[in-house]
Structure 1
Amino acid sequence: MKKPIITGLTAAMIAIGAIWISPAWTSEDVRPNLPYTDVARVAEGAALYVDYCASCHGANLEGQQPNWQDRDADGYLPAPPHDETGHTWHHDNALLMRIVRDGTEAIVGGTYKSNMIGFGDVLRDDEIASILGYIKSTWPTEIQDIHNEINARVLP
């Protein structure tokens, strides 16, 4: 008799917790949109990219080093290009937002080494989304479509 009561109380507590927490879990938090078709946001993202990203990833998203997939002597990967030749478009929006906000080492964890710092202390989420929207706006339509498919497959 005690087991059904405990099970029922546990289920009720989980349901109440989910209702209490759920307002903070919007679909935008889980699956953020990148404003790559919004001209004003793309322009904002381009300006922010110049200020915060271009010194490592290249003024034209081309990356700064030809061997960006090979670790250097200290174990760090060079900053990858963000054009279609890089791997940025292989990642869903939520992961891209987290990488820019928190830094790669914080996302991967363990002993992974990366020079990609987090910008969460200096950029708001909407600014990060604008930067990523700018980057996405430069990709060929085929790559944008593939990236959209990647995002559609990610479960909230």
Structure 2
Amino acid sequence: MSQKNLAFGMVGAATIGAAAILILYSTMRPSGPAFIDPADQSLVIQGKAIYANSCAACHGEALQGQPDWRDRMPNGKLPAPPHDKTGHTWHHPDTMLIDMVKHGLVPGKTAPPGYQSDMPAYGTVLTDEEIVAVLAYIKSSWPPKVLQAQKEVTLQRRD
């Protein structure tokens, strides 16, 4: 075997090895978006329309939530919180926000044990892409410091 053929063989083997490592790494990483970035304006526009149709009735057209959202109603449930910077949405990582929209608030998982909520599960109504678009729209209203804090929480919570 010539040195030229040997060199090509070694480069080919190294390339295949690197590709195998990348494939293995990508299968070990968490699935789903690492951070839903509201910089994608087409995603934000899509999310705004979905939010208006599916979320605004409870969470408010301007993301303001229901009045007195921290005070329990007579039925023991809390009103819908705001999704703007005054609420607590930005305290949660994206994976949890996606789970909350998709499955509703699940006691012991995305809500305290025993918690009851009027938040419906949208997993059969909205696609994963539509849920991501809604969250991009919500996040587009946050000031840079709040968005950065939520990004840090999201990236820290990736397991």
TM range (shorter): 0.7 to 0.9
Secondary structure, counterpart of 1:104 in structure 2: coil
Paired positions, count: 132
Secondary structure, counterpart of 2:95 in structure 1: helix
Q: Which residue of 1 aligns with 2:92?
A: 91
Distance 1:139 1:68, change over 3 A: same
Q: Which residue of 2 aligns with 1:103?
A: 104
TM-score, length-scaled by structure 2 = 0.77
| CA distance in 1 between partners of 2:118 and 2:112 (Å) | 13
Percent identity reads 39
CA contact (8 A) 1:35 1:130 kept: no
CA contact (8 A) 2:44 2:134 kept: yes
Structure 2, gaps ≥5 residues long: 1-25
| CA distance in 1 between partners of 2:112 and 2:141 (Å) | 30
Does residue 40 (structure 1) correspond to residue 31 (structure 2)? The answer is: no
| CA distance in 2 between partners of 1:114 and 1:139 (Å) | 25
Q: Which residue of 2 aligns with 1:118?
A: 121
| CA distance in 2 between partners of 1:34 and 1:73 (Å) | 36
* Runs of 4 or more consecutive aligned structure 1 residues displaced over 6 Å after TM superposition: none
Give 1:63 deviation, angstroms: 1.0
Structure 1, gaps ≥5 residues long: 1-21
- RMSD over aligned CA atoms reads 1.8
| CA distance in 2 between partners of 1:69 and 1:81 (Å) | 10
Between 76-85 and 34-43, report the one with greater CA deviation: 34-43
Does residue 127 (structure 1) correspond to residue 148 (structure 2)? The answer is: no
CA contact (8 A) 2:43 2:136 kept: yes
Does residue 80 (structure 1) correspond to residue 91 (structure 2)? The answer is: no
User: Residues 84-126 of structure 1, C-alpha deviation per residue, up to 9 Å, x if partnerless?
Assistant: 0000000000000000000013543742110001100010111
| CA distance in 1 between partners of 2:88 and 2:144 (Å) | 16
Distance 1:109 1:140, change over 3 A: closer
Greater fraction helix: 1
For 1:33, the aligned partner's letter is F
